[in-house]
Structure 1
């Protein structure tokens, strides 16, 4: 499938900023299952940009802009060719061992309810792959009709108790639950062509299955990712795979607006 993406992020500041430093995890990498046909990141102000690969194997762009800055628009446009592999990842950059992804972070704390939910969800499963599919289906049943939305900042435990979640939240719940079952799992940020409006990039999860490698699971749909997905960045949680992260020098508040369109051609 050929997927076209137009992703625009606008920051507005109540007071001019002296300096911005941002890490952009907005560029997908080629694998055996997806090929980047074209990709461009643009900004509407004078800025220096430097491309690199981070410790997780993600393509990142460092952005440096000197003030005074009252606003900044970051634009991403591109096309990616994808194929359906039943969620199995082939040919990705893997600088870290799978066991690292058993590590719990502040955002993936379990709380009291998630371990019991995870254990109940996978009772009677034949193997690791079956357990992850059962966990995925259980989260989908508990949190149907989950939207893509900006990061709420909630931990997995907080979102689970709250009962209302975004795709980022249920992805972090999956991470916490899988790790409680001793299965390495990582957060994935990217794009999903589902015919609906998006106010943020999509989030899902990859779990490591012995004999298969990394396999994707999306609790928003209850299924594994197919050729409707563009995989961009991985991390230990939503914060570690955030599309844009950084710092600013200056006082005042900031306002964020995201416009995202994902369309496809069979």
Structure 2
């Protein structure tokens, strides 16, 4: 599938800030499931700093903006070709040992309810267990926008029984309880069958299944990522995998506006 993506994030401040530093994880991953035709990341009034590929295989670049400034826009424009790999992250180079993803974070730490959920699921092998755990999360948490946010913990999402894509990968932390490394993945999803542009920032989980490696699971949509998905990066939780992380110098209160559109191009 050939997709065109536009992603604009605008920060507005009620008083001019003195400066801004950002770390961006906004370049598509390199693996067999996607090939970038062109991709541009810009920051209005910004100066591009260092860029590198981290141990998880994600491309990270730093930007800075000198103030005073009352508005900053981060823009992504790109075209990418994707193909269905049945959720398998094949051909992705990284150096972090999968066992590192068994660790808990403040957002992903399980409570008794999450541990009970994991203990109640069994599978014939790691892949089967991963599918069953993802299905259990789908049944336990109803997809409903506006109920949760990126800072909602896995335990809170399960207790609420509803939320959006953000909590779903965190809620897959029962995999860690079952001895399966799991991580949070950020990206885009083309979900309109008519090909019209639409808001499509999305997140899902990847679980390491042994010899098959990392496999994606989107509990919100009850499927594995296919050619409708564009992978950007991963982390231990939503905060660690955030596409944009920044720090400002100044006292102005911040307001955030995000616009994401994914459009299928003519084949």
Could you list the runs of 5+ residues in structure 2 that have no partner in the other structure? Answer: none
Runs of 4+ in 1 over 3 A off after TM superposition: 144-152
**How high is the TM-score relative to the length of structure 2?**
0.93
Paired residue for 2:169?
Answer: 171
Paired residue for 1:213?
Answer: 213
Checking the alignment, whether the CA contact within 8 Å between 2:182 and 2:205 is kept in structure 1 is: yes
Shift of 1:191: 0.6
Name the CA shift for 1:26/1:149 in 2 (closer, same or farther; >3 Å): farther
Checking the alignment, whether the CA contact within 8 Å between 1:187 and 1:234 is kept in structure 2 is: yes
1:51 corresponds to 2:48: no
1:186 corresponds to 2:167: no
Could you list the runs of 5+ residues in structure 1 that have no partner in the other structure? Answer: none
Give CA deviations for 1:15-53 in whole Å, capped at 9, x if unaligned.
111110100110013212211111001222243343222
Paired residue for 1:161?
Answer: 159
Distance 1:218 1:109 in 2: 20
**How high is the TM-score relative to the length of structure 1?**
0.93
Distance 2:148 2:42 in 1: 21
Give CA deviations for 1:55-102 in whole Å, capped at 9, x if unaligned.
322101101111101110111010111111111111112111111111
Paired residue for 2:110?
Answer: 110
Paired residue for 1:130?
Answer: 128
Checking the alignment, whether the CA contact within 8 Å between 2:46 and 2:63 is kept in structure 1 is: no
Distance 2:109 2:190 in 1: 30
Shift of 1:230: 0.6
Name the CA shift for 1:84/1:101 in 2 (closer, same or farther; >3 Å): same
Paired residue for 1:141?
Answer: 139
Shift of 1:154: 1.5
Paired residue for 2:260?
Answer: 260
Checking the alignment, whether the CA contact within 8 Å between 2:143 and 2:163 is kept in structure 1 is: no
Checking the alignment, whether the CA contact within 8 Å between 1:148 and 1:201 is kept in structure 2 is: no
Distance 2:24 2:33 in 1: 23
Distance 2:28 2:43 in 1: 18
Shift of 1:226: 0.5
Distance 1:152 1:96 in 2: 24
* SS of residue matched to 2:107: helix
Name the CA shift for 1:4/1:90 in 2 (closer, same or farther; >3 Å): same
Name the CA shift for 1:70/1:246 in 2 (closer, same or farther; >3 Å): same
Give CA deviations for 1:176-223 in whole Å, capped at 9, x if unaligned.
21111110111110111112842x621101111112111111111111
Checking the alignment, whether the CA contact within 8 Å between 1:29 and 1:36 is kept in structure 2 is: no
Distance 1:165 1:111 in 2: 18
Name the CA shift for 1:149/1:45 in 2 (closer, same or farther; >3 Å): farther
Shift of 1:126: 1.0
Task: Note the aligned Cα RMSD (angstroms).
Answer: 1.8
Paired residue for 1:239?
Answer: 239
* SS of residue matched to 1:14: strand
